[in-house]
């Protein structure tokens, strides 16, 4: 059992490490895509903590990414830059600035606190009702951040936030998210929540509080999402539109394509879809493939990712990994081939 647990943790960490290694071998422009993929891993792992373990679909988790990005962005921006970008910012936020690591910790705390406030009423819902309610949270969050200029730049972009999310920080951030998600899944709380996913009525019958277990996972997931938002705002200039509808669609696609009920699937899906999405984003601006020009229409990447998700769900509803963690049984054919090659 210890070997199996070690494999289930080390396998996703190995993928994160491979992605980071690839980032050191490519050009600077391509490295940005690798860093973005690692930040996506942190976001998708945050989704997995709640959606994968509870079975309740949430469209609103990008709200926690957004508030984390806002908290880290507003308080890490140099004080002298704030009046030009955020002229109506509240004095408490305008006159103070913090460093990179404290801003990430603050982003995680704000994401968890916001998830707690939202989760207290919403975790009583299930199924379609929960999905629609969380989408309503996304709409509310988007409009508050867009128009309340006392807490952020409003329609402006965070253009002066220190760009500290490099390859090392993104790798460490993704690895930390994986470790926290693994520890939660192996904990008593994670096992109880998984039991409610499999059979909520049976779990209630033996005394499990479905509401309480979902709330714990929701808050932890919100904290991880807020942390990922802090990484994101320190990577790219962010505005309200960049954390609105596109990101929820892409990150949910990553989770579903990889396999929503496993940490291994979350990491596989995040890296695989990020790679496809990055290639298509480049192709929309024009690239050469095997010496031939390739120039795709704008929006192709969303169409292709959507079609890919539909195809995977039709042919393999549990995702590429089958919704299961990597096991020694799955590695057995590889060992046999290696032995045969020797």
pLDDT tens string 262-281: 999 999 999 999 999 888 88
Residue at 293 is within a domain: no
* In a domain? residue 306: no
Q: What's the confidence (pLDDT) of residue 341?
A: 44
Please check whether residue 334 lies inside any domain of the structure: no
Q: What is the pLDDT of residue 24?
A: 92
In a domain, 177, yes or no: yes
Per the structure, the complete domain to which residue 52 belongs is given by 2-240
Examine residue 315 and state whether it is found in any structural domain, yes or no. no
Q: 82 to each of 32, 160, 212, 232, how far by Cα in Å?
A: 26, 8, 40, 19
Q: Which of 267, 306, 242, 263 is nearest to 62 (CA)?
A: 242
C-alpha distances (whole Å) from 321 to each of 255, 262, 269 are: 11, 8, 9
Predicted model pTM: 0.92
Q: How far apart are CA 119 and CA 142, in angstroms?
A: 18
Going 56 to 57 to 59 to 65, the CA torsion angle's sign is: positive
- The answer to whether residue 330 sits within a structural domain is no
Residue 137 lies in a domain: yes
pLDDT string in tens for the chain (342-residue length) = 677 888 889 999 999 999 999 999 988 888 999 999 999 999 999 999 999 999 998 888 899 999 999 999 999 999 998 888 898 899 888 888 999 999 999 999 999 999 999 999 999 888 888 889 999 999 999 999 999 999 989 888 888 899 999 999 999 999 999 999 999 999 999 999 999 988 888 889 888 899 999 999 999 999 999 999 999 999 988 888 888 888 888 899 999 999 989 999 999 999 999 999 888 888 888 887 777 888 888 888 888 888 988 898 898 888 888 888 887 666 555 454 344 444
Total number of domains in the chain: 1
* pLDDT tens per residue across span 173-196: 999 999 999 999 999 999 999 999
Query: How many Cα atoms within 13 Å fall on the side-chain side of residue 176?
Result: 17
The answer to whether residues 160 and 81 touch, using CB atoms and an 8 Å cutoff, is yes
- Residue 338 has a pLDDT of 46
């Amino acid at each position: 059992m210890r070997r199996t647990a070690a494999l289930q943790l080390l396998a996703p960490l190995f993928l994160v490490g491979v992605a980071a290694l690839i980032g050191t071998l490519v050009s600077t422009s391509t490295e940005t895509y690798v860093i973005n993929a690692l930040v996506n891993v942190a976001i998708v792992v945050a989704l997995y903590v709640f959606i994968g373990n509870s079975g309740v679909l949430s469209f609103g988790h990008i709200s926690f990414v957004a508030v984390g990005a806002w908290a880290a962005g507003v308080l890490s921006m140099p004080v002298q830059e704030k009046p030009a970008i955020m002229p109506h910012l509240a004095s408490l936020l305008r006159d103070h600035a913090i460093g990179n690591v404290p801003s990430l910790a603050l982003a995680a705390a704000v994401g968890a606190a916001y998830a707690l406030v939202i989760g207290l009423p919403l975790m009583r819902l299930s199924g379609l009702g929960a999905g629609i309610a969380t989408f309503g949270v996304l709409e509310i969050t988007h409009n508050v951040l867009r128009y309340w200029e006392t807490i952020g730049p409003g329609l402006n972009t965070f253009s002066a936030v220190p760009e500290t999310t490099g390859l090392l920080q993104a790798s460490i951030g993704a690895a930390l998210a994986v470790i926290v998600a693994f520890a939660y899944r192996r904990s008593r709380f994670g096992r109880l929540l998984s039991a409610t996913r499999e059979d909520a009525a049976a779990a209630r019958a033996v005394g499990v509080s479905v509401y309480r277990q979902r709330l714990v996972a929701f808050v932890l997931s919100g904290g991880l999402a807020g942390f990922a938002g802090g990484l994101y705002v320190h990577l790219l200039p962010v505005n309200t539109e960049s954390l609105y509808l596109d990101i929820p669609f892409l990150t949910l696609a990553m989770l579903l394509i990889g396999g929503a009920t496993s940490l291994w699937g979350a990491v596989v899906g995040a890296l695989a879809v990020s790679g496809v999405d990055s290639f298509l984003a480049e192709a929309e601006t024009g690239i050469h493939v095997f010496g031939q020009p390739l120039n795709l229409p704008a929006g192709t990447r969303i169409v292709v990712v959507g079609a890919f998700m539909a195809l995977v769900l039709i042919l393999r509803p549990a995702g590429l990994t089958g919704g299961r963690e990597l096991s020694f049984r799955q590695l057995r054919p590889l060992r046999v081939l290696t032995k045969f090659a020797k």
